Structure 1
Amino acid sequence: MPLVSKTKSLQHEKFGKEPSIIEKDGDLQIKRSPSSPQGGPKKRSAFEDLTNAKQSQAQILITKRKGGKVVSKKTQKGCSEQEALQNIENQRSTGSKASQEHLDNAKEKSPKTPEVPEEKSDTVAKSEVQPTPYEDVDEENLNDPFLNSIYAKDIFDYMKEREMKFVLKGYMEKQLDLNIEMRAILVDWMVEVQENFELNHETLYLAVKLVDHFMSKAVCMRETLQLLGSTAILIAAKFDERCPPCMDDFLYICDDAYQREELLAMEVNILRTLKFDINVPVAYRFLRRYAKCARANLETLTLARYICELTLQEYEFIWESASKLASSCLLLALKMKDLGGWTPTLQHYTGYQFADLHSLMRRLNLLLYSKPNEKLKAVRYKYAHKVFFEVAKIPPLDVLKLEEQLKLNTI
């Protein structure tokens, strides 16, 4: 059975039992019996037990000293006030004027509730009026259930914590039959496959992550490198796409260099090596989220995507965390479009301050300045098209100007 059908069947079995459990939980009622340690339900007014606790203890001591049944003056006074109030209400029904006078006197004699001091009320008012330093970007989408605006902040905070589990280190020294240039050529070919099959960009980023994580734990030969890349795209497509391409399509794009059994064996090998933990946080998901927080338009987002996709081919960017890479690409794109810089809203939702992105921004800007390799043209050719606003033709920032603004912290 394919991986997608397995996950769907498991989800059907899982969610098929939940309504019965919910109905059972809804019928549960907690009743407190008189024999319980807390006793039966107790009636009391709002402040009676709290404000009269000390007075009631004093009355008990007086009765113990005198002995016998003694009624204190306070209880007698309380009884007289209750009788007066009852008489006043009876007279009110007859409509006499005397009842109104007695009612006013009773109100004057009754204890007044303590008023809140003016100083405390002023502090409460100031705390309520104080504005928040960041903008709530999810508030406007609360009525759309498909956006999950209530849980969006928690979801991306969890993804940011989870990405620490997938930190990569240099692994190319373990690969005796491969080098950095071969990996870059493989990623360039994977970009073409993603564009030809019209797959999601998340699928491409996840497939590259699967290749890097697999090669960091297992040795791969030169003959099976393309098989590794195509199988990684197949697994990522099953994980992310609604309608993933079939296996014959992946055999076709490899020019029939591999058999079906080899593709299946590589799929099993990858999943077992990674222990089926393939939900790796990718930079593209963070980039879309942070662009929304910055209120960036589609052209600015596309420019940031172009910068971020260039890093897929570069081996020296594999150990950068996905959230930090997305933040740096967005900040560099905002500066290239002269649309401001790092705002308190971005600092709140990304968790990075402006100083945390200095070094990575310099490296990304130098990457745009570098001369493109003749064998690695897929990303630059892709984003030079009109569909992507020809963002690949936008000149990078001047290095000296960027350094001055980094020192002045004016971005």
Structure 2
Amino acid sequence: MATMRQAARITEENAPKGKPVKPDAGAPADNTKRRAFGDIGNIQGVTTRAQAAKDKVGTKPQTSLRPRDPNATAAALRSKVAQPSRPAGVSLSSLLQTRAESVPAAKAPVVCPESPLPDIDKNDKHNPLAASEYANSIYNYYRRVEPKFKVAHDYMQTQCEINEKMRGILVDWLVEVHLKFKLMPETLYLTCNIIDRYLSIRNVTRKRLQLVGVTAMLIASKYEEIWAPEVNDFVYISDKAYTREDILAMEKQMLASLQYDLTVPTCFLFTARFRKAAGVADDLKVNQMCEYLSELCLVDVTTNKHSLSLLSAAVLHVALTALGRADTYPRTLARHARYKLEEVLPAARHIVSLMRKAPESSLRAVYKKHCSSKFGEVAKVEVPVLPEATEL
């Protein structure tokens, strides 16, 4: 080894100045002592003093000169937080299970959801005339627009020549006309709705009040009936007090004033729905009693202070009470009507007072109509007794 090093040194001394000396092919290169190779860290088997010091102390990763991506940095931090440190030889699933068992479970509040609305249309699925798929939507619409078409019970105070008594006489006479023409029940309720809505926005003289009544029934008949009475029939029934031209002119004026809004909720519609909810839709006696009580409410304008849906629920409650039914306000009825019994009782007491006054009232058209056997003589049923407000 010494002989080879001496030969290399002699060759380097004898070499001309300025020319590189080619190393002997047989002599091994000592790369550890050359600066150029010492700075390169990827040579296998070469370890410099600086690198050894870094390995001993521990080096930090080189930082990149490029700007960091904030999203990548946030993701890296989240991954570090999400990955819990665990001892060697312990799986992540077992560690998570151990931690979950050590943490007490929070007590969730117990919520008892309300049972769904009872399906009262299930027996009409195969009846296309019942429109069971749309029944709930239709009555939800009626409930939504009910305040829009509600008339104040004291609107007669804005009239100059007519009063509540005249309005009652008109409706009582229209009940007889409705019976003579054999019209549908819906026609009578829509007629009274048109009269009240028109009188609440237009002043009418005493001479033209009957014209308003017959025109309202003509409009309602065209809307509800398959074969509506002709204009000449109303001219005849009013004893020719008005001409055909008068009725047609009033029809245009009323429709324009009401903005042609004729699809409106009535007491008849809500009562029919609530009878179905109470399970008495096929009970003829209950239906006849409800019709009698509803027509009593049509004659008395003060019943307008109650909403139609509330008044309909009260009508059914009084009818069931008067006929001696066991459950006078079933839970299903309360769910569909959206009223508690305490809310219905004030209107029910008002209806009972009308029943008590009917036999001795001067407006006897409704009472005489329902005293006949054709309508079940329900007007002769004993007036029920309801609890007073102090007993609730």
- Tell whether the structures are fold-level matches, with TM greater than 0.5: yes
- AA aligned to 1:389 is G
1:104-141 Cα distance to aligned partner (Å, 9 max, x none): xxxxxxxxxxxxxxxxxxxxxxx9xx995764211121
Q: Which of 257, 270, 283 is the matching residue for 2:241? A: 257
Give the distance between the partners of 1:361 and 1:157, measured in 2 at CA: 23
What's the counterpart of residue 292 of structure 2? 306
Q: Which of 146, 151, 155 is the matching residue for 2:138? A: 155
Q: Is 1:329 aligned to residue 315 of structure 2?
A: yes
Identity of aligned residues (%): 35
Q: Is 1:394 aligned to residue 381 of structure 2?
A: yes
Q: Is 1:136 aligned to residue 119 of structure 2?
A: yes
Q: Which of 348, 359, 370 is the matching residue for 2:335? A: 348
The aligned runs of 1:39-54 (5 Å cut-off) are none
1:125-182 Cα distance to aligned partner (Å, 9 max, x none): xx9xx99576421112112222111111111111111111012112212211111111
CA positional deviation for 1:242: 0.9
What's the counterpart of residue 403 of structure 1? 388
What is the TM-score when the length of structure 2 is the normalising length? 0.68
Q: Which of 278, 283, 302 is the matching residue for 1:316? A: 302
Given that 2:296 and 2:366 are in contact with CA atoms closer than 8 Å, whether structure 1 keeps it comes out as: yes
- AA aligned to 1:222 is R
What's the counterpart of residue 177 of structure 1? 161
What's the counterpart of residue 368 of structure 2? 381
Q: Is 1:230 aligned to residue 214 of structure 2?
A: yes
CA positional deviation for 1:372: 4.1
Structure 1 residues 398 and 354 mapped into 2: Cα distance closer, same or farther (>3 Å)? closer
Given that 1:328 and 1:361 are in contact with CA atoms closer than 8 Å, whether structure 2 keeps it comes out as: yes
Q: Which of 221, 228, 241 is the matching residue for 2:225? A: 241
Structure 2's unaligned 5+ residue stretches are 1-110
CA positional deviation for 1:357: 0.4
CA positional deviation for 1:308: 1.1
What's the counterpart of residue 265 of structure 2? 281
What is the TM-score when the length of structure 1 is the normalising length? 0.65
Q: Considering only CA atoms, is the larger Rg found in Structure 1 or Structure 2? A: 2
The aligned runs of 1:32-181 (5 Å cut-off) are 132=115, 135-169=118-152, 170-181=154-165
- AA aligned to 2:141 is Y
CA positional deviation for 1:345: 0.9
Name whichever structure is richer in helix by fraction.
1
1:55-93 Cα distance to aligned partner (Å, 9 max, x none): xxxxxxxxxxxxxxxxxxxxxxxxxxxxxxxxxxxxxxx
Given that 2:358 and 2:364 are in contact with CA atoms closer than 8 Å, whether structure 1 keeps it comes out as: no
What's the counterpart of residue 10 of structure 2? none
What's the counterpart of residue 48 of structure 2? none
Secondary structure of 1:396's aligned partner: coil
CA positional deviation for 1:373: 5.1
What's the counterpart of residue 346 of structure 2? 359
Give the distance between the partners of 2:236 and 2:245, measured in 1 at CA: 14
CA positional deviation for 1:250: 0.7
Give the distance between the partners of 2:384 and 2:215, measured in 1 at CA: 38
CA positional deviation for 1:371: 5.2
Alpha-carbon RMSD: 2.3
What's the counterpart of residue 33 of structure 1? none
Give the distance between the partners of 2:237 and 2:320, measured in 1 at CA: 37
Secondary structure of 2:227's aligned partner: coil
- AA aligned to 1:381 is K
